[in-house]
Chain A
Amino acid sequence: AQSVTQLDSQVPVFEEAPVELRCNYSSSVSVYLFWYVQYPNQGLQLLLKYLSGSTLVKGINGFEAEFNKSQTSFHLRKPSVHISDTAEYFCAVDPPSGSARQLTFGSGTQLTVLP
């Protein structure tokens, strides 16, 4: 079984400042890793994913994440945030093999960008 920990439930940051949202996972097997964003009153949208290959993954809206196998982390970063980035961000893991793909989500991080 796998689990996901998002250590920060809320992250306030000023506009144009950099931000890092932390995600750690535990799994006995290799996993796929995802970041999803949920804007207010909307469904989830995929930001980026790590399946294999380069450990630095670039996603939409200027976000990127780095897979660190030794630290079992997949932190999300953006060098300069905008007001429009205010949303809930979820890290998720998914075993690449097996009969069913079942995403396990972290508890979420509310990013609030302040003017």
Chain B
Amino acid sequence: SAVISQKPSRDICQRGTSLTIQCQVDSQVTMMFWYRQQPGQSLTLIATANQGSEATYESGFVIDKFPISRPNLTFSTLTVSNMSPEDSSIYLCSVEDGDRGEQYFGPGTRLTVT
């Protein structure tokens, strides 16, 4: 299974600022996913990031608010821009193992916006 790390593990930010979350995988993967988990809620897919192409955003999420980079097959970043308290969530990245039909998740980044 893939091993995924995320940085930072948690952060407290002021409203109006931006935070970039990094996701590193120990193997090359085609597709990476970014999810948001609001307090006490389930996971919601933000976008799918393929290397070499623009990320595909789900309904309700836009690139200006959540720009994503995917410079290579083992790394991706998600930026939460112009933050407000409503952005306080856990942000998780995941990767797909197509052969096994599984997704593996990183430990998450716990973001609090004050």
Q: With contacts A43-B108, A90-B43 known, is A103 near B103, CB below 8 A? A: yes
Contact size range, A: 20 to 34
Chain A residues lying within 8 Å of B33, measured Cβ to Cβ, are 102-103
**Interface secondary structure of A, over-half rule:** loop
B103 lies within 8 A of A101 (CB): yes
- Given that A90-B42, A101-B31, A107-B41 are contacting pairs, would A44 and B101 also be in contact in the complex, using a CB cutoff of 8 Å? no
Q: What is the CB-to-nearest-CB distance from A95 to chain B, in angstroms, rounded to a whole number?
A: 11
Whether the pair B107, A43 counts as a contact (CB closer than 8 A) is: yes
- Number of B residues, CB within 8 Å of A: 23
In the complex, which of the residues B42, B102, B107, B108 contacts A46, with contact meaning CB atoms closer than 8 Å? Answer: B102
Interface centre among A32, A94, A101 (most CB of B within 10 A): A101
1/0 per residue, CB under 8 A from A, across B62-96: the answer is: 00000000000000000000000000000010101
Q: Which residues of B contact A (CB under 8 A)?
A: 4, 31, 33, 41-45, 48, 56, 92, 94, 96, 98, 101-108, 110
